[in-house]
Chains A and B, each alone.
Chain A
């Protein structure tokens, strides 16, 4: 069964600084990978996804993520954070066949300080 690990429970970053959120997955084949963001009391918004092809994926709100098969990672990055980026971020993994669910990591809470 696939699993997702987000090693950082909480990250604090200054406004304007860069941000990197880590995600590691465990799965026997090439997974489908997603990053979602959740503001307090809200549902999940899709930031970006990786299915195949170019391993550097661009998403909304200036986010990007890089798939590294050798490291089983799919880290999320943003060059310069804004106060509005404060939220909880979830990495999720799906599969190529016979399994339709998303498996989520426990999430990373991002706090942005002025």
Chain B
């Protein structure tokens, strides 16, 4: 049973460029969340996608956008990269429950983005 997969593993970009990160959820999961983990910090919630729509968003600028496909995989796009966007980007998948609250999230290995 494949877990959450992310690509690429590492990425180096320069300021002002755009980047796309990809995530495939764990088999049977329908919800994808994205987190940013700066060095030495805990992960910070960016947004969550469910039924191909952004269901909740954290405190991140509009430069951060996403998409979810019919097969539940997801992309995170970041435009106009800043040095401060350098971080480990984590994707987490879950199975949406009926309670409307937080479901158990399973994380992928992450994509290490370096902005020069």
Q: When each residue 95-107 of chain B gets 1 if its CB lies under 8 Å from chain A and 0 otherwise, what string results?
A: 0000111111111
Contact check, A107 vs B41: say whether CB atoms are below 8 A apart: yes
Q: Would you give 23 A-B contacts (Cβ < 8 Å), ordered by A? A: A42-B109, A43-B109, A43-B110, A44-B90, A44-B92, A45-B107, A90-B42, A94-B102, A95-B101, A95-B102, A96-B99, A96-B100, A96-B102, A99-B101, A100-B48, A101-B33, A101-B45, A101-B56, A101-B102, A102-B105, A103-B45, A104-B42, A107-B41
**Cross-interface CB contact of B106 among A46, A94, A96, cutoff 8 Å:** A46
Q: What number of A residues sit within 8 Å (CB to CB) of B?
A: 27
Smallest CB gap from A49: residue in B:
B104
Q: Which residues does A use to contact B, with CB under 8 Å?
A: 4, 32, 34, 36, 41-46, 49, 90, 92, 94-107
Given A44-B43, A46-B106, A101-B45, 20 extra CB contacts under 8 A: A32-B102, A34-B104, A36-B107, A41-B112, A43-B6, A46-B107, A49-B104, A96-B99, A98-B101, A100-B48, A100-B55, A100-B103, A101-B102, A102-B45, A102-B102, A103-B45, A104-B42, A104-B44, A106-B42, A107-B42
Tell whether B58 is near chain A: CB-to-CB under 8 Å: yes
Judging by beta carbons under 8 Å apart, are B101 and A100 in contact?
Answer: yes
Q: Does B66 contact A (CB under 8 A)?
A: no
Residue of A nearest to B108 (CB): A43
A90 to B35, CA, bound (A): 14
Residues of B within 8 A of A42 (CB): 109-110
Q: Closest CB-CB distance, B89 to chain A, in whole Å?
A: 10
Query: Contact between B42 and A100 (Cβ–Cβ < 8 Å)?
Result: no
| Cα of A75 to Cα of B108 in the assembled complex, Å | 25
Assembled-state Cα–Cα distance A90/B37 (Å) = 12
Interface size on B, residues (CB 8 A): 30
Q: Which residues of A contact B44 (CB under 8 A)?
A: 104
Residues of B within 8 A of A98 (CB): 100-101
B16 CB to closest chain A CB, in angstroms? Answer: 27
A4–B102 CA distance with the chains assembled, in angstroms: 15
Contact present for A97 and B41 (CB under 8 Å): no
CA distance A4 to B41 in the complex (A): 13
